[in-house]
Structure 1
Amino acid sequence: MQRQQGLSVISVLFIMVIVGVGVLLAGKVLPVYNEYAEVRKAVADMASQTGKGETELRREFMNHAMVGDISSIKPENLTIITTANSVFVRAAYRREVPLFANVSLAFDFDTQAGQTPQ
């Protein structure tokens, strides 16, 4: 007499729920990290542009934000310090992503580039 092997219906449903939750989380989390990558790229580009004023750099970030679909941080929320031969840019922000009902994920991001002023 052979014993049956394999997954029961309840096991298959349980695995489907786990996979579904994973897909839901990935669908919510990946766009947040893609946006953060765009912010890091914009901050690094801005820090490499010496000779520009703070207003010009904020305008530059606004252009990056439109192209890179950055909506979590505005140009006026950046910390920008310019000197004669260096630029320091810091972007620190929080992004909350609703999952369902009153449950949300919170992400705190902080990136900086350039030379810190002495």
Structure 2
Amino acid sequence: MKKQQGLSVIAILLVLALVGAGLMLVFKIVPVYTEYGDVKNALTALSAETNVGEQTLRQEFDGKANVSGVTSVKGENLMVVAGAGSNYLRAKYQREVPLFGNVSLLFHFDTQAGQPPAQ
């Protein structure tokens, strides 16, 4: 008598459920970090601008965020210190991503660009 080898139907269903849950997490998490990268790139670009005020930097951030599809942080939420040679910008925000039912993931982000002001 030959011994059977392979996965049972239940084992296959469990593997598919685990793969599905993993894919769901990936599809929920990747856009969050993509948005974070867009925020970081916008702050870096704005920190290099010269001879602009805080309000202009906030408006330009809103423009860049609108093009990139950033919804978690607005120009009014930034910490902005405009200087003659360079600017300091900081975005500290959080984003909640619902998974299912009352289960969510909460991400905390804190990114900055430019030279911090002297304390």
SS across alignment from 2:31 = helix
Total equivalences in the alignment: 118
Confirm whether residue 116 of structure 1 aligns to residue 116 of structure 2.
yes
The two structures, once aligned, show a CA RMSD in angstroms of 0.8
Aligned pairs for 1:8-87 (under 5 A) are 8-87=8-87
Q: TM-score, normalised by structure 1?
A: 0.97
Q: How far is 1:84 from its partner?
A: 1.8
For 1:83 and 1:36, the matched residues in 2 are separated by: 25
Q: How far is 1:52 from its partner?
A: 1.0
Q: TM-score, normalised by structure 2?
A: 0.96
| Structure 1 spans left out of the alignment, 5+ residues | none
| Structure 2 spans left out of the alignment, 5+ residues | none
Confirm whether residue 7 of structure 1 aligns to residue 22 of structure 2.
no
For 1:111 and 1:54, the matched residues in 2 are separated by: 18
For 2:85 and 2:56, the matched residues in 1 are separated by: 15
Q: Which amino acid aligns with 1:31?
A: P
Aligned pairs for 1:97-112 (under 5 A) are 97-112=97-112
Q: Which amino acid aligns with 2:62?
A: M
For 2:97 and 2:37, the matched residues in 1 are separated by: 17
Identity of aligned residues (%): 50
Give structure 1 regions of 4+ aligned residues with deviation exceeding 3 angstroms.
none
